């Protein structure tokens, strides 16, 4: 305000008074027609030259009065000019100070926001984006009082100081015009509020990628519109377990995610020539002609991983594929060489050494050495889902957890998790696998070293690390497999922002959910007939539904991330492939406890008994048809987990023919009751049946309850039978017809009559009317 006052009011006024005054004294008052001040313009010129202290000397007053007037003009001009210079300097210093302290309002659009209170996380995200995002298009938001990356090469990046969930801070960062935002705070609520503010401010246009810790927060991030949210433990814990369940699979994921072997996963628009072709034809075309390996189809933001061979590629779909590394326009010579060396896939010369391929003993327990409560808890949950049969010994300084899965044999030893005494107590010499995760890398190193020395290298050690290149230190002391969680999270968050569905793909193939696809490793037997990689893909996909994506050579243990179509696959090699997760009894809801975020309706005693009977029939006797009947009766009595099990059985064709409409119905019913697994399963069945999002939200139609209440039981039974007969007249039941069937059955109160109607439906028979 002050500088504007001087520039636009005080200075013009001073110059006007000075020029008029000298003109009046030197020309009008003196009467000298030859005076240099013979015009107001010349007088103004003199006033400006005097005011700025330049003083050319081409004009000067000749009269005594004019010279006295000049004294005052020079003095006043010097004072005013000094004030202006001071104000401008102060303003510049304020601007520079504001920029250095992150206080300025930025004028930028189409930029990338990185919001976090963790400088290390920021640096990792930036390193993943540096090849694709210009530095002048990145804005950091941090609560720090100084530049969060001041001691790094990113110190010149634009930044804003403050909390990113503060609207004023977001406006300073021009968040409404940003393209992508990466969000992580040590407090999940801060990250959640930031995502909410970003989505609101940009009307959902910004692509938000968030990191959190705690499974209960996943739904919260989805509810506020986050495009992709990731819990590190959902990735690296299953990956550590895969290191000994599916040796070689974690290495494949690591190389693909970090793009270190000339390949990447990218989401591409389906070419018009491929629309309408089957999934098998698409695989053959892309792999044979370009060396590209299709992995999934994205339909209406739903990722359908490894569809059936006969699945037809719809219009407006996207293909997620493993392809040669994309070369930017200004690529380095090394990147260019990489791209040229992988024209259609890996040959023997591109194979890489893989750690963690040592033999694992058949006997022995699993040892967990950690001071991380979340890590231990997640390990036990993952092992529970996999129904881990081995004994598990937990060595930690943390008190015994309140809830330990009942299907695991766990021994808890509380004490120093790195002392020699503790390892002796944990019988470390008898362990076959050790999972190690400590806050400090030095503790991880000591744990690995002690275990390897105690067992002469017989134990298979899997550890985490955090410092850059610390994996080399772990390998030196004998660690079989190690990973840095940030090397997984940052690349996935960065790439999924540009490739829709990538994060979902990676998460689902690592986790072993019943209705999703998993990444597994198969050891080819001696009876395997050598064949080309392309023929192997097509043969296994067509006959067994498996999608081979990588290969490990038997003799050298070297990995080919995306083999060349003509590469020969030999007996003894290990195939890395994507396949449907195996359906087992323990994958059913078998406990009356649930970690669901919603409150489930408590079932009746009769429903519970029917449910338990169904479990026994399914697990122990493998009588799937009778088990289905029991679950069905329990579901009619509103048993939530029975509904979920019916969804699984219909999805996998256990006890009944495979029926995705029926599967979808029961998953939706269980999800409405609060079953979390059913909510996740809905995505798979919805994509397979090409059901629109709007259909998902439709409620089951209900008949007029008042009218039904006036009818007798026999009349209600006749009405329900009539509905069943009409629906089944064309021998086909779609989703909406299924809804009418179940609404009709619900109006009948006699359990015997309910069962009679159910049997008609199960046997695809029309009841007599």
Partners of 38 in the β-ladder: none
Q: Quick one: which H or E segment has residue 694?
A: helix 693-696
Q: Are 550 and 253 in contact (CB under 8 A)?
A: no
Question: Could you tell me if 575 and 591 lie in one domain?
Answer: no
Question: Could you tell me if 604 and 568 lie in one domain?
Answer: no
CA distance 577 to 117: 39
The string of pLDDT tens digits covering residues 421-456 is 888 888 888 898 999 999 899 999 999 998 888 888
Q: Which residues, at least 6 apart from 407, have a Cβ–Cβ distance to it below 8 Å?
A: 384, 387, 586
pLDDT of 505 strictly over 90: no
Question: Could you tell me if 299 and 370 lie in one domain?
Answer: no
**Cα-based torsion angle of the residue sequence 522, 526, 531, 533 in order, rounded to the nearest 10 degrees:** 20
Question: Could you tell me if 642 and 660 lie in one domain?
Answer: yes
CA distance 441 to 550: 31
Question: Could you tell me if 371 and 449 lie in one domain?
Answer: yes
Domain assignment present for 377: yes
- How confident is the model at residue 536, as a pLDDT? 92
Domain assignment present for 105: no
Residue holding tokens 């037809």? Answer: 312
Domain assignment present for 769: no
- Among 426, 451, 479, the domain-final residue is 479
Mean of all residue pLDDT scores within the chain: 80
- Report in angstroms the alpha-carbon separations of 462 from 247, 457, 492: 12, 13, 22
The CATH number covering residue 616 comes to 1.25.40.10
- How confident is the model at residue 326, as a pLDDT? 57
- 22-26, 205-209, 596-600, 703-707: which has the minimum mean pLDDT? 596-600
The CATH number covering residue 475 comes to 3.40.50.720
The residue ranking higher by pLDDT, 107 or 101, is: 107
Question: Could you tell me if 13 and 43 lie in one domain?
Answer: yes
Q: Quick one: which H or E segment has residue 159?
A: strand 158-161
pLDDT of 364 strictly over 80: yes
Q: Which residues, at least 6 apart from 77, have a Cβ–Cβ distance to it below 8 Å?
A: 14, 18, 50, 51, 52, 53
- Report in angstroms the alpha-carbon separations of 499 from 141, 160, 518, 602: 24, 28, 20, 42
Domain assignment present for 544: yes
Q: Which residues, at least 6 apart from 94, have a Cβ–Cβ distance to it below 8 Å?
A: none
CA 210 to mean position of chain CA atoms = 7
Domain assignment present for 160: yes
Residue holding tokens 């046997």? Answer: 763
Q: Are 407 and 591 in contact (CB under 8 A)?
A: no
User: End-to-end CA distance of the chain, in Å?
Assistant: 89
Ramachandran assignment for 292, one of left (phi > 0), alpha (psi -120 to 50 degrees), beta (any other): beta
Question: Could you tell me if 320 and 373 lie in one domain?
Answer: no
Domain assignment present for 229: no
Question: Of 145, 148, 146, which Cα lies nearest the Cα of 115?
Answer: 148
Q: Which residues, at least 6 apart from 498, have a Cβ–Cβ distance to it below 8 Å?
A: 132
pLDDT of 537 strictly over 90: yes
The string of pLDDT tens digits covering residues 295-314 is 999 887 788 888 888 889 99
- Pairing status of strand 138-142 against strand 112-116: parallel
Residue holding tokens 């070689």? Answer: 248
- 483-497, 512-526, 550-564: which has the minimum mean pLDDT? 512-526
Question: Could you tell me if 475 and 511 lie in one domain?
Answer: no
The residue ranking higher by pLDDT, 714 or 735, is: 714
CA 606 to mean position of chain CA atoms = 42
Q: Are 309 and 279 in contact (CB under 8 A)?
A: yes
Count other Cβ atoms within 10 Å, centred on residue 340: 11
Question: Of 289, 297, 354, 349, which Cα lies nearest the Cα of 321?
Answer: 297
pLDDT of 182 strictly over 70: yes
Helix (DSSP H) and strand (DSSP E) numbers for the chain = 29, 23
Secondary structure letter of residue 165 according to DSSP: T
The token pair that represents 668 in the structure block = 């939706």
CA distance 317 to 301: 9
3 state DSSP class of 433 = strand
Question: Could you tell me if 125 and 176 lie in one domain?
Answer: yes
Question: Could you tell me if 592 and 682 lie in one domain?
Answer: yes
Q: Are 197 and 167 in contact (CB under 8 A)?
A: yes
Question: Could you tell me if 382 and 427 lie in one domain?
Answer: yes
Residue holding tokens 């977001």? Answer: 170
The token pair that represents 79 in the structure block = 């004072």
The CATH number covering residue 571 comes to 3.30.70.1450
- Report in angstroms the alpha-carbon separations of 455 from 204, 395, 424: 55, 17, 11
Phi, psi for 427 (deg, rounded to 5): 50, 50
- Report in angstroms the alpha-carbon separations of 547 from 291, 306, 319, 517, 534: 15, 7, 15, 10, 11
Count other Cβ atoms within 10 Å, centred on residue 35: 22
Q: How confident is the model at residue 94 (pLDDT cuts 50, 70, 90)?
A: low
Question: Of 696, 736, 689, which Cα lies nearest the Cα of 299?
Answer: 689
3 state DSSP class of 543 = helix
The string of pLDDT tens digits covering residues 616-627 is 888 766 788 888
**Biggest alpha carbon–alpha carbon distance for the chain:** 128
Domain assignment present for 387: yes
The CATH number covering residue 7 comes to 1.10.287.70
Domain count, the chain: 6
- Among 479, 505, 524, the domain-final residue is 479
- For residues 337-357, give the mean pLDDT: 69
3 state DSSP class of 707 = helix
- For residues 240-244, give the mean pLDDT: 83
Q: Which residues, at least 6 apart from 497, have a Cβ–Cβ distance to it below 8 Å?
A: 180, 182, 207, 209, 227, 228
Phi, psi for 551 (deg, rounded to 5): -140, 140
Ramachandran assignment for 263, one of left (phi > 0), alpha (psi -120 to 50 degrees), beta (any other): beta
3 state DSSP class of 369 = strand
3 state DSSP class of 676 = helix
Secondary structure letter of residue 278 according to DSSP: B
The string of pLDDT tens digits covering residues 202-218 is 888 899 999 998 878 88
Q: Are 236 and 483 in contact (CB under 8 A)?
A: yes
CA distance 559 to 350: 9
- For residues 494-518, give the mean pLDDT: 79
The model carries a pTM of: 0.65
Q: Are 148 and 162 in contact (CB under 8 A)?
A: no
- 154-158, 167-171, 300-304, 762-766: which has the minimum mean pLDDT? 762-766
- How confident is the model at residue 323, as a pLDDT? 87
**Sheet strands side by side (includes 574-580):** 352-353, 558-560, 547-552, 574-580, 517-523
- Pairing status of strand 460-464 against strand 431-437: parallel
Residue holding tokens 């275990």? Answer: 451
- Pairing status of strand 558-560 against strand 352-353: antiparallel
- Among 652, 668, 696, the domain-final residue is 696
Question: Could you tell me if 244 and 346 lie in one domain?
Answer: yes
- How confident is the model at residue 25, as a pLDDT? 85
CA distance 716 to 243: 58
Q: Are 35 and 64 in contact (CB under 8 A)?
A: no
pLDDT of 166 strictly over 50: yes
Q: How confident is the model at residue 190 (pLDDT cuts 50, 70, 90)?
A: very high
- Report in angstroms the alpha-carbon separations of 696 from 288, 680, 688, 690, 733: 38, 13, 13, 11, 17
Domain assignment present for 177: yes
- How confident is the model at residue 602, as a pLDDT? 62
Q: Are 535 and 283 in contact (CB under 8 A)?
A: no
Secondary structure letter of residue 518 according to DSSP: E
The residue ranking higher by pLDDT, 672 or 379, is: 379
**Domain interval for residue 391:** 365-479
Q: Is the dihedral of CA 289, 250, 244, 381 positive or negative?
A: negative
Q: Are 509 and 519 in contact (CB under 8 A)?
A: yes
pLDDT of 104 strictly over 90: no
Q: Are 549 and 517 in contact (CB under 8 A)?
A: no
């Amino acid at each position: 305000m002050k500088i504007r006052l001087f520039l636009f009011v005080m200075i013009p006024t001073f110059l006007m008074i000075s020029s008029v005054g000298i003109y009046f004294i030197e020309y009008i008052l003196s009467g000298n027609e030859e005076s240099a001040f013979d015009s107001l313009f010349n007088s103004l010129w003199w006033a400006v030259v005097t005011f700025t202290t330049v003083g050319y000397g081409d004009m000067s007053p000749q009269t005594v009065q004019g010279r006295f007037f000049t004294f005052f003009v020079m003095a006043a001009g010097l004072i005013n000019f000094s004030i202006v210079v001071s104000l401008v300097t102060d303003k510049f210093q304020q601007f520079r100070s504001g920029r250095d302290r992150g206080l300025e309002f930025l004028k930028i659009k189409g930029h990338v926001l990185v919001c976090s209170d963790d400088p290390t996380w920021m640096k990792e995200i930036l390193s993943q984006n540096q090849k694709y995002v210009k530095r002048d298009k990145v804005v950091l938001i941090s609560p720090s009082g100084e530049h969060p990356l001041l001691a790094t090469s990113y110190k010149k990046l634009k930044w804003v100081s403050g909390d990113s969930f503060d609207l004023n801070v977001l406006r300073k960062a021009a968040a409404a015009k940003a393209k992508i935002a990466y969000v992580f705070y040590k407090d999940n609520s801060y990250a959640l509020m930031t995502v909410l503010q970003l989505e609101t401010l940009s009307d959902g246009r910004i692509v938000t990628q968030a990191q959190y810790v705690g499974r209960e927060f996943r739904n919260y991030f989805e509810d506020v519109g986050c495009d992709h949210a990731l819990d590190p433990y959902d990735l690296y814990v299953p990956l550590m377990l895969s290191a000994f369940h599916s040796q070689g699979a974690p290495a494949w994921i690591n190389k693909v995610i970090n793009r270190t072997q000339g390949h990447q996963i990218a989401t591409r628009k389906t070419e018009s020539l491929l629309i309408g072709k089957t999934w098998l034809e698409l695989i053959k075309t892309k792999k044979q002609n370009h060396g590209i390996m299709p992995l999934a189809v994205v339909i209406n933001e739903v990722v359908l991983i490894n569809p059936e061979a006969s699945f037809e590629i719809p219009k407006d779909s996207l293909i997620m594929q493993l392809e040669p590394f994309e070369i930017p326009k200004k690529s380095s010579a090394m990147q260019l060489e990489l791209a040229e060396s992988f024209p259609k896939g890996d040959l023997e010369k591109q194979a890489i050494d893989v750690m963690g391929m040592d033999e694992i003993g058949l006997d022995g327990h699993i040892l967990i050495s950690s001071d991380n409560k979340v890590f231990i808890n997640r390990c036990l949950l993952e092992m529970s889902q996999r129904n881990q049969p081995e004994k598990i010994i937990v060595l930690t300084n943390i008190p015994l957890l309140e809830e330990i899965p009942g299907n695991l044999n766990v021994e808890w030893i509380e004490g120093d998790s790195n002392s020699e005494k503790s390892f002796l107590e944990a019988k470390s010499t008898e362990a076959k696998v050790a999972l190690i995760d400590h806050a400090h890398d030095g503790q991880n190193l000591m744990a690995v070293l002690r275990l390897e020395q105690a067992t002469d290298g017989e134990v298979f050690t899997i550890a985490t690390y955090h410092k850059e290149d610390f994996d080399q230190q772990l390998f030196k002391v004998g660690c079989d497999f190690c990973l840095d969680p940030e090397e997984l999270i940052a690349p996935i968050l960065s790439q999924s922002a540009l490739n829709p569905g990538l994060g979902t793909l990676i998460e689902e193939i690592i986790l072993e959910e019943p209705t999703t696809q998993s990444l597994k490793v198969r050891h080819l037997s001696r009876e395997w007939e050598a064949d080309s990689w392309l023929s192997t893909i097509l043969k296994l996909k067509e006959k067994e539904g498996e999608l081979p994506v990588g290969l490990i050579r038997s003799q050298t243990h070297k990995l080919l991330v995306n083999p060349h179509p003509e590469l020969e696959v030999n007996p003894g090699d290990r195939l890395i492939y994507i396949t449907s997760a195996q359906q087992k009894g323990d994958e059913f809801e078998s406990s009356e406890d649930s970690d669901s975020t919603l409150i489930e309706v408590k079932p009746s005693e009769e429903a519970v008994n029917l449910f338990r009977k169904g479990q026994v029939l399914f697990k122990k006797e493998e009588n799937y048809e009778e088990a289905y009947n029991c679950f069905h009766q329990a579901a009619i009595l509103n048993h939530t987990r029975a509904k979920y099990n019916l969804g699984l059985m219909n999805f996998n064709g256990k006890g009944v023919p495979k029926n995705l409409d029926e599967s979808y119905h029961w998953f939706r019913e269980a999800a409405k009751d609060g079953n979390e697994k059913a909510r996740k399963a809905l995505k798979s069945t919805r994509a397979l049946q090409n059901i629109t999002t709007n259909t998902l939200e439709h409620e089951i139609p209900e008949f007029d309850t008042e009218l039904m209440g006036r009818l007798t039981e026999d009349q209600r039974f006749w009405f329900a039978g009539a509905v069943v007969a009409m629906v089944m007249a064309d021998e086909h039941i779609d989703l909406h017809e299924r809804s009418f069937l179940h609404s009709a059955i619900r109006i009948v109160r006699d359990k015997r009559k309910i069962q009679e109607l159910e049997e008609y439906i199960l046997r695809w028979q029309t009841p007599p009317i």
